[in-house]
Amino acid sequence: MKDGVLFVNKDEGKTSREVVNEISKIYKTKKVGHTGTLDPMATGVLIICLGKYTKLVNLLTSYEKEYVATMKLGIKTDTKDRTGNILKQEKVSVTKEQIENVFQNFPRKYLQEVPKYSAVKVKGKKLYEYARENKEVELPKRQVEIFSLKILDMQKDRITFQTKVSKGTYIRSLIEDIASRLSTVAVMESLQRISQGNVNIKDCLTLKEINQNTPLKQLDGLFSYPIYEITEFEKRKVENGNKLILNTQEETIFLSFQKQIIAIYQKKEDFYQMIFKVV
């Protein structure tokens, strides 16, 4: 079966695209996509969709993500992480109390500047392409949400923390913004994505553990949408891909017939329309 989802624990050093390419070779299918880029130096949860499940990429990408990161104070690089060219180094003099105060009072919603070394497009061109050509471009800002921010460890000029964030949040930029509130600079030294939506890192396999016989996951455990039981008449409409008028106000729902999930529908104005059909 080449329709389903893989929960991958990405190794350091690989791009998300390289993981997709390897999965494509293992399962001998070109219809493969990931649901949220991880930097090459980052590790952890990377959800891979195959076959018709690639239609779920946008839904899965929109889920909140949780990370454990380590930041090193006193260094600024062009990539905002330890792999970049050093732009600035300085001695750091901050107290434990100052660090705790910044973490406790960091805004839960704010406009975050997108890193110049990222795949976000400006005028049809990826930002990292401008950066590699040494061309200046105004970096866009995005509204992001920080659901949780907790210090795990503090050692001299290093802080390890855990955070849960909204789609589109760059941890590299978050680290720089935290450092700014400490009146210094910092880089991301390590990053591990430990969860995405319902998927936890303990559910994931490394690429070395995956082969063509590794079973692909279906909808079970992927989403927590309410289940709406439909009639046989509505089922026929679903089979034809028709829109439905349903007696619910939920944004996104599982449609079930005789207690078997058959589709995912999403509200569009007064109607619900199909975004994924199971069979």
Range 24-43 average pLDDT: 93
> Angle 96-105/171-181 helices, nearest 10 degrees?
120
Angstrom distance (rounded) from CA 7 to CA 198 = 11
For residue 110, what pLDDT is reported? 96
- Burial grade of 26 (CB within 10 A; 0-12, 13-18, 19 or more): middle
Angstrom distance (rounded) from CA 214 to CA 72 = 39
Range 107-118 average pLDDT: 90
Range 30-40 average pLDDT: 92
Angstrom distance (rounded) from CA 159 to CA 149 = 12
Our answer to whether residue 39 is catalytic in this structure is yes
Helix segments in the chain, DSSP class H: 16-27, 57-61, 96-105, 127-132, 171-181, 232-239
Q: Which residue has the higher pLDDT, 279 or 207?
A: 207
- Burial grade of 34 (CB within 10 A; 0-12, 13-18, 19 or more): buried
Domain topology for 72-158+165-188: Pseudouridine synthase (3.30.2350)
Q: How many CB atoms lie within 10 A of CB 135?
A: 10
Half-sphere exposure of 263 toward its Cβ, with a 13 Å CA cutoff? Answer: 23
For 248, the token pair is 């619910």
Query: If you classify domain 227-277 with CATH, what class do you get?
Result: mainly beta
pTM to 2 decimals?
A: 0.90
For residue 117, what pLDDT is reported? 81
Backbone conformation region of residue 267, classed left if phi is above 0, alpha if psi is from -120 to 50, else beta = beta
Q: How do residues 168-225 score in pLDDT, each as one tens digit?
A: 999 999 999 999 999 999 999 999 999 999 999 999 999 999 999 999 998 877 888 9
Least-confidence region, from 46-50, 73-77, 182-186, 259-263: 259-263
| Catalytically annotated residue among 39, 81, 157, 220 | 39
Half-sphere exposure of 177 toward its Cβ, with a 13 Å CA cutoff? Answer: 21
Confidence band of 150 (pLDDT split at 50, 70, 90)? very high
Phi, psi angle pair for 172, to nearest 5°? -60, -45
Q: How wide is the angle at C-alpha 201 spanned by C-alphas 197 and 207, nearest 5°?
A: 115
For residue 132, what pLDDT is reported? 85
Angstrom distance (rounded) from CA 154 to CA 175 = 14
For residue 221, what pLDDT is reported? 76
Task: Work out the mean pLDDT of the chain and round it to a whole number.
Answer: 93
> How much of the chain exceeds pLDDT 90, in percent?
79
Q: Check pLDDT > 90 for residue 124.
A: no
Q: Check pLDDT > 70 for residue 126.
A: yes
> How much of the chain exceeds pLDDT 70, in percent?
100
For 55, the token pair is 């239609």
For residue 226, what pLDDT is reported? 92
For residue 1, what pLDDT is reported? 55
Confidence band of 122 (pLDDT split at 50, 70, 90)? confident
Range 124-148 average pLDDT: 87
Range 103-118 average pLDDT: 92
CATH classification number, 4-63+198-209, choose in 3.30.390, 3.40.50, 3.30.70, 3.30.420: 3.30.70
User: Can you tell me which residue has the tokens 């795949």?
Assistant: 119
Strands 186-196 vs 158-165: parallel, antiparallel or unpaired? unpaired
For residue 246, what pLDDT is reported? 93
Angstrom distance (rounded) from CA 89 to CA 19 = 34
Domain with CATH 3.30.70 in the chain: 4-63+198-209
